[in-house]
Structures are given as C-alpha cells and as structure tokens.
A = this chain, B = another copy of it.
Amino acid sequence: MMTTLQFSLGQLAERLGATLRGAPETVVRGLASLQDAGPDQLSFLANAQYRKHLAGSRAAAVLLNAADAEGYAGAALIVANPYLAYAQLSHLFDRKPRAAAGVHPTASVAADAQVDASASIGAYAVIESGAQVAAGVTVGAHCVVGARSAIGEGGWLAPRVTLYHDVRIGKRVVIQSGAVIGGEGFGFANEKGVWQKIAQIGGVSIGDDVEIGANTTIDRGALADTLIGNGVKLDNQIMIAHNVQVGDNTAMAGCVGISGSTKIGKNCMIAGGVGMVGHIEVCDGVFVTGMTMVTRSITEPGSYSSGTAMQPAAEWRKSAARIRQLDDMARRLQQLEKQLVAVTSGADTSSDA
C-alpha cells in the first residue's frame, strides 16, 4: 500500500556528518524507539531513562552521543546531539502526502487574490479578495484564506484551517487542522447589564517558522494586531486572546489559555493547561509548569508553578478540607506561639521566685 522509503547507513551518516560505526551498506527503512525497532530501522538514545533498552535493541543502528556509544557494541551513528539528529532524519521517513502545485478545480479563488504558481490550493479551499499566497505554500482542502490575508513562502496549512481577514503569516509556517486565526476576540462593553459588542478591528501578525496546533484559536486584535513572534510553537487547543504578544521561540503545550493583552517574552516554555490572566507581562526565559494559573507579571526568568499534584482521593479529600481551614489553623498556630511564650515567661518568673 505504501512505497518503501530506504536509505543506507552510509547515506544517513553523510547527511548528518556523523561518525559511522558499522556497515555503511546496511539498509534503513524507518525509525523506531529502541524497544520497537526492527533490524531495518534506525533508533536513537536521547533520554537517559531509556538507556536500559539500548543493549537489547534490535535496531539496524542507533544514533548515540560519544559517551553512550562507548558502552554499546552494535552499529551506531555517533553525533553530538542524537535527538537533533533524529529530528533531522525524521523528515526522510515522513509519508505525509506532498500536494501538487496549482489550484484544485473545485477551489474558489477571488479574481484579485494573488496565488503564486508554485503554491498548491486544495479542494474546496476559499481564497478571498486581496489575499496573497506566496511561493511553495500548501493550502489544504477546505481552508479559508480571508480578505487581504497573506501567507509567506513555504507555508503549509493542513485541511480545514480558517484565516479571517487581515491575517499576516510569515514564511514556513505550519498550521494544523481546525485552527482558527483572526476570530473576533471577546470584547464587550457592559451597558446596564447588557453586553455591547466591540468591533475587533486589529489583525493578526505571525512570524516565520511558527507552528500552530490543531483546533488552536488566535483572536484578532481589538485595535492593534495580535502578535506571534518567529519560531513560536503552539500545540493543540491553545487559546490566544486578542492583543496577546508572544516572543520569539516561545513554546506552549496543549490546552494553554492566554487572556487578552498579555505579553509573553522570548524563549519561554508554557506547559499544558496553564492559564494566564490578561494585561500582564512575562519576561524572557520563563518556564511555567503544568496547569499553573499565572495571575501577575513575571519579571525574573525561572520556573513558576501552582498546579497541584494528584493524591488518592481519600487523602486528597482530607487535604482539601484542611485547605478550607487554613486561615483558622494559622490563627491558632499564632495563638499557641503567644501562649507558649507566656507559659515560658511564667515558668521563668516562677523559677525566679
């Protein structure tokens, strides 16, 4: 059903600039974990907790750093960073279909849209008035590229991505299915209990080399643009509200929610399920652990947390009940401290007597 991709160990070593230990003519037909790899698959060791699986691996060869290679008798491609080497080789074995250049006959492209001849526009895609699709871009089936929106060179949109109007996307941006970029943010003015809608007249600007996960939503700005920097990686089901700014090379895992006008620095890592309130600033180099609620600005790089780890439910019920008594406990503790001082003083006094 699939055609077989194959490379020799020698070819792979050359591509990586790796030191090859083993027969260069050995054929590799895929990549797999140390446990799963068969004799025609390449594997890698990038995480110390998997070192125990190295000796028993049936892999054709293993991507190893020099230290790990010393203790391993089998064929190896020796590199400085095995995980990065695996990342590089992984693309050789990707069976993702490559779309042919051209506009699918069922697509609907506005007369004044500019679509480069080398771009691919999928079935039933809609390219609206004034939109621009640059060279080498793939627009998947059922995508909508709104009025005046632009996709830079080499972008890849999975099927069913929506870009509203006035969304500017850099080069080599990957957007997974179901993502919505440029939706109208949550802006309402309350007039005697009734919410009056505020038109969201800003756009979205997305840098180069950004990845946006499935069903992630990035709202357009209320006034100015929502801004996503270069190299930002957003996992699935992330919610980025209007006028958020995300700095270069920041990565967010799934299910993160960022409220309006919050500004996140560069090279941050935001773990899954984190929520941030609006109108705060997070500096560069911050790591926020899973399910944390960020309620104020962060001005120092480092790790931040508030996610509570699971306990057996019976134990947790006791802890949770005590949390509700904490203020009372703190007051009683303070009371005890005072009483003890009194007792001790009293004892001193009596010993003086």
Contact = CB atoms under 8 A, between A and B. Distances in A.
A308 B311 contact: no
A2 B215 CA distance: 29
A83 B337 CA distance: 52
A236 B239 contact: yes
Interface in A302-353: 302-327, 329-330, 332-333, 336-337, 339-340, 343-344, 346-347, 350-351
B254 A189 contact: no
B180 A178 contact: yes
A191 B298 CA distance: 25
Contacts of A254: 186, 239, 241, 257, 259
A188 B323 contact: no
B318 A312 contact: no
Contacts of A72: none
B239 A259 contact: no
A259 B251 contact: no
A319 B313 contact: no
Given A142-B144, A272-B257, A323-B308, A83 B189 contact: yes
A174 B178 contact: no
A62 to B, nearest CB: 14
A198 B87 CA distance: 4
Contact of A90 (B128, B201, B290): B201
A183 B176 contact: yes
B312 A303 contact: yes
Interface in A127-160: 128-130, 140-142, 144, 146-148, 158-160
A319 B329 contact: no
A226 interface: no
A106 interface: yes
Interface string A174-217: 10111010011011110101111111110000000001011101
